[in-house]
Amino acid sequence: AGSWALVSFMRLLWTLLTLWLLAAEDLSAHRARTRRELAPGLHERGIRDAGGSYCERNDACCAGRDDACTVPYLDTICYCDLFCNRTVSDCCPDFWEYCLGIPPPVAVHKGCDRGGQNYPTGTTYRENCNLCTCSGNGKWDCEQHACLIDGEMIDAVNRGNYGWRAANYSHFWGMTLDEGIRYRLGTIKPPPVVMHMNELWGTELQRVKISKEPKSIRSPKPLTSKET
């Protein structure tokens, strides 16, 4: 009976060991998978192509799964192995075209260049009074407002011989011409109601006029008395 108990105990131990090994293996496999598959997607709102080639430049197309098959991409890395095609989340922007020869499954947004730098879609900057936005096609899309201060106009005036010089009133820089007319210049045309007003000849107004103006100029009262 004693040996039977020992065998039974050994069997239990073996079973436990096997279970533990299986669990450990499953856990490590699971961890390796989650690190990459659950990484935040690089291309959630379309591919941000930072204006370069990645897999192509590094000639880095890898078969199967190869977690070392990476290329620097923006502030992170992207993959050029076939496994990235499963999640789409971490492939380099040129993976599909260069490695597979097919168009990418999500839209590619080309960034916009400015001052030797490439900016992602949706970036904005101000050009005097106009806002420029990086559109998805690699071009800056700028508003077309006339600006209150026009640099070219200042230069043109100062190049000519007009007897006066134009200055850059910097505190007006960045305003549109419309804003300037509305808020700054004091050149507003009065509204139609005011434009259609007639001079009043009520007694109230006459009294005001008489008291304010010298008598000799005109006042309706002496005129009527002379006529009658």
> Where do contacts with ligand NAG occur on this chain (CB under 6 A)?
82, 85, 100, 105, 151, 154, 168, 170, 173
Shortest spacing between CB 150 and ligand NAG, in angstroms:
8
Minimum CB distance to ligand NAG, residue 106 (Å): 10
| Contact call for residues 125 and 114 (beta carbons, < 8 A) | yes
Minimum separation from the CB atom of position 171 to ligand NAG (A)? 8
Burial (CB < 10 A; 0-12, 13-18, 19+), residue 110, is buried
Q: Which is nearer to ligand NAG, 17 or 146 (CB)?
A: 146
Of the candidates 4, 1, 24, 23, the residue with the CA atom closest to the CA atom of residue 12? 4
Query: In sequence order, what are the residues at sequence separation of 6 or more whose Cβ sits closer than 8 angstroms to the Cβ of residue 172?
Result: 148, 149, 180, 184
Q: How far is CA 126 from CA 113, 119, 145, 149, in A?
A: 15, 14, 12, 14
Residue placing its CB nearer to ligand NAG in the complex, 170 or 224: 170
| Residues, the chain | 228
For the CB of residue 82, give the shortest distance to ligand NAG in the complex, in Å. Answer: 6
Residue 125, both tokens: 């900057």
Taking the least distance from each CB to ligand NAG, the nearer of 71 and 91 is: 91
Cβ distance to ligand NAG smaller for residue 117 or 168: 168
Residue type, 137: N
Tell me if 37 sits within 8 A of 85, measured CB to CB.
no
Whole-number minimum distance, CB 155 to ligand NAG, in Å? 7
Tell me how far apart the alpha carbons of residues 182 and 175 are, in angstroms, rounded to a whole number. Answer: 11
Least Å from the CB of residue 47 to ligand NAG: 13
Q: Which is nearer to ligand NAG, 100 or 157 (CB)?
A: 100
Nearer of residues 39 and 61 to ligand NAG, judged by Cβ: 61
Q: Are 110 and 116 in contact (CB under 8 A)?
A: no
What is the distance between the alpha carbons of residues 51 and 132, in angstroms, rounded to a whole number?
A: 19
Q: Which single residue brings its beta carbon nearest to ligand NAG?
A: 151
